[in-house]
Amino acid sequence: MEVFYFNSSIVYINGSTGGSDMTPYEECKDMPAALIFYLILQAINLFLGIPANLMVLWLLHKNKGDSSSSDIFILHLAILDTFFCLIPPLELVNKVFLTIGSTWYVLRFFYGVKDSSPLFLSCICMDRYMAVLHPITFTELKDRNHRSVCAAVLWLVTLVYAAAKCVWGNIPNFEKVFVAMILAAFSFMLFCNVAILNALRKSGPGRDEMHPVKKRAFKMVLIILAIIVFNYFPPVALFPFQEHFSPDEFICFVYPIAFGFMDISSSIQPVLYLSREIPSVLCCCPKNKGSGNSTDPS
């Protein structure tokens, strides 16, 4: 029995055709639509995600003298997503055309890196949560190095997790580590963003009277909340109920759909960031440095 990996999932393919290996596409030939959908989204990551994330990195470098407190996490998230967006060609070969055992180790490592992306997004949510609900504490901590330390710790966790997935992928129930991580991160991000929206909504008699900085924060938090729900809710909603699906349905339908929505975040996140930043660059409208960095969670 060959063991293949579909992101955090374990796909057991029964080598019943004369001992020859079967690709995931051949194994799911009776229901290929979800796998094709997944590969299309990965192609979008390749052709849109890489240039979009590189543009984010360029803008962050260009504006590093006028950056917000969350930019360090956005920087590392863009690096992580750029890294992940490199895999579609290798993934296409191994899922559709060939079954090369050695490349599954490489793919598992990339999958492990992507699995950890919600941790960086959670830090962005936490930073904005502190800026809005605890501005005094946020101001006191704004110029310290704890964000760099936090980013370094997250990369250490990411690389250890990815290496474990790569080298010890046959550990029973190893995918449950991902399920627990995505559930915890999703709940935490949802809590932070709902609390921020509630605080901003109550900050004035009406939204039209809201401070411009808080208006900007309100819009950005809404975008982040939409990303969280759209990209991370499918795996959160589906994976805990694996026993309610047949093995073929879970492998050939649930996994590709859930991870397709999660992985396309590598393109959606930078595009939404650019939609906010590029207009100000094109209009040559510098950010107002006196607009209260201590209360701007974006």
Question: pLDDT tens for residues 82-128?
Answer: 999 999 998 888 888 776 767 888 888 999 999 999 999 999 889 88
Kindly provide the b/e burial profile for residues 27-66, where b requires at least 16 CB atoms within 10 angstroms of the residue's own CB: bbeeebebbeebbebbebbbebbbebbebbbebbeebeee
**pLDDT for 192 beyond 70:** yes
Q: pLDDT at position 120, please?
A: 92
The secondary structure of the chain in percent helix, strand, coil, rounded to multiples of 5, reads: 75, 5, 20
Closest by CA position to 5, among listed 101, 76, 121: 101
Range 164-186 average pLDDT: 80
pLDDT tens for each residue of 19-30: 346 777 788 888
End-to-end CA distance of the chain: 49
The whole-number pLDDT of residue 41 equals 94
- Cβ–Cβ contacts within 10 Å for residue 191, how many? 12
Q: Could you give the angle at which helices 117-133 and 212-227 cross, rounded to 10 degrees?
A: 150
Lowest mean pLDDT among 43-47, 61-65, 178-182: 61-65
User: What's the CA gap between 110 and 260, in Å, rounded?
Assistant: 15
Chain position carrying tokens 């710790």:
153
Helices 101-115 and 146-167: crossing angle, nearest 10°? Answer: 150
Q: What is the pTM of this model?
A: 0.81
